[in-house]
Amino acid sequence: MDPLSDVLALLEPRSYRVGGFEAGGDWSIRFGAYDEAIKCYALTAGNCWITVEGAGPPVPLEEGDCFLLPRGRPFQVASDPSLPAEDYRPYFTGSPEGTVVKLNGGGGVTVLGSHFRFAGPHAEMLLGLLPPLVHLKSEADRATLRWAFDRMRQELDVAQPGSVLIAQHLAHMILVQALRLHLGDGKDVGWLSALSDRRVGAAIAAIHREPARRWTVERLAADVSMSRSSFAARFKQLVGEGPIEYLTRWRMLLAGRSLSRGDPIGAVAHSLGYESESAFSTAYKRVTGHTPRRRARSSAPFGRSVSVRRPRKDACSMASPWTTGQRDASWWPSVGGIRKR
């Protein structure tokens, strides 16, 4: 798979709410804060405004615009941003999955989309790279997403067997496409934006394809036809950290997933290129702040023991260790470097 697909597969986004609302006349709705989730919506009819707390002045939305809300901040959607906002709960709480709620009888503005939570850990590695509001408004962006939202509207308007499931699958496709369109802008710093760079993106793809390989900066630079110094500088400029640091972090993310699934610690170490279980354990604790055994125990069903298997002696070693003071989800770098809590 490509790196974006790799990361989304690791984070396991789950659509837990699909639907939207229609609004007529004058209206203003305020939605509260939420944790480790991303909201993806489009304005399929009419015009309105969105204001995201701490993200600057109100932003006008026109028919066909798509927007992502990845930071969990409170936000307001309104026909006029100066109107006093009503709480969303009296209108939306308790409505069935797939419902298009009507405000003031509907008929003017239609907003459709979905909320996603991440079943896998480390959602921050994606959400922390995105601004509080991602606004996709070019005609090319609208054309790319129009078919999917039109089909979603058809499924939600006329309930048929499987309509909600189809709408959820469409929502997943829309989320991936919206992220793809955003990374094409190249405005952010981090692995997501770096994927649009031909050479650095190719290096990230190589790391993802072979995480256990004995990668060095020289070898990665040669793979993308760059000098070592130019490649290292370009990678750090775009990603926010060096190639070996990125490799280390990616290996630890893969290790966390394997450990949570009950894979033996020794087997995980071998699969990621470690010569010994102790070397892997040292690196894992250095990066994440806790031991692999603790990670495995925290995911094991009650009463199940965590098995340990020694790796083969011919397993390759880690390319380079590194240190960080970050812990848990916050140890993945976000825009401008490591996210401080």
- For residues 288 and 327, the answer to whether their CB atoms sit within 8 Å is yes
Q: For residue 249, what are the domain limits? A: 192-338
pLDDT tier at 238, thresholds 50, 70, 90:
confident
Task: Out of 141, 158, 185, pick the residue that ends a domain.
Answer: 185
Number of other CB atoms surrounding residue 10 within 10 Å: 18
Judgement on whether residues 139 and 196 belong to the same structural domain of the protein: no
Overall average pLDDT of the 278-289 stretch: 89
Judgement on whether residues 148 and 217 belong to the same structural domain of the protein: no
Instruction: Provide the greatest CA pair distance for the chain.
Output: 72
CATH number where 38 lies:
2.60.120.10
Judgement on whether residues 139 and 101 belong to the same structural domain of the protein: yes
Overall average pLDDT of the 313-341 stretch: 34
pLDDT in tens, 138-188: 888 888 888 888 888 888 888 788 988 898 888 888 888 888 888 776 666
What's this model's pTM, rounded to 2 decimal places?
0.71
Indicate if the pLDDT at residue 266 is higher than 80. Answer: yes
Judgement on whether residues 146 and 21 belong to the same structural domain of the protein: yes
Considering only 109-113, 292-296, 304-308, which range has the smallest mean pLDDT?
Answer: 304-308
pLDDT: which is higher, 123 or 287: 287
Q: Which amino acid is at 127?
A: L
pLDDT in tens, 102-115: 999 888 999 999 88
pLDDT score for 24? 94
Judgement on whether residues 216 and 319 belong to the same structural domain of the protein: yes
Could you give the CA distance from residue 88 to residue 79 in angstroms, rounded to a whole number?
A: 15
Judgement on whether residues 103 and 37 belong to the same structural domain of the protein: yes
Judgement on whether residues 208 and 175 belong to the same structural domain of the protein: no
Judgement on whether residues 249 and 333 belong to the same structural domain of the protein: yes
- For the chain, what is the domain count? 2
Judgement on whether residues 47 and 142 belong to the same structural domain of the protein: yes
Judgement on whether residues 53 and 168 belong to the same structural domain of the protein: yes
Q: Which residues pair with 115 in a beta bridge?
A: 17, 39
- For residues 120 and 161, the answer to whether their CB atoms sit within 8 Å is no
Indicate if the pLDDT at residue 189 is higher than 90. Answer: no
Could you give the CA distance from residue 63 to residue 211 in angstroms, rounded to a whole number?
A: 43
Q: Which residue shows structure tokens 């798509």?
A: 66
CATH number where 278 lies:
1.10.10.60
Task: Out of 136, 165, 185, pick the residue that ends a domain.
Answer: 185
pLDDT score for 187? 63
Task: Out of 185, 203, 220, pick the residue that ends a domain.
Answer: 185
Judgement on whether residues 11 and 142 belong to the same structural domain of the protein: yes
Judgement on whether residues 248 and 330 belong to the same structural domain of the protein: yes
pLDDT score for 185? 67
pLDDT: which is higher, 142 or 125: 142
pLDDT score for 111? 94
pLDDT score for 23? 95
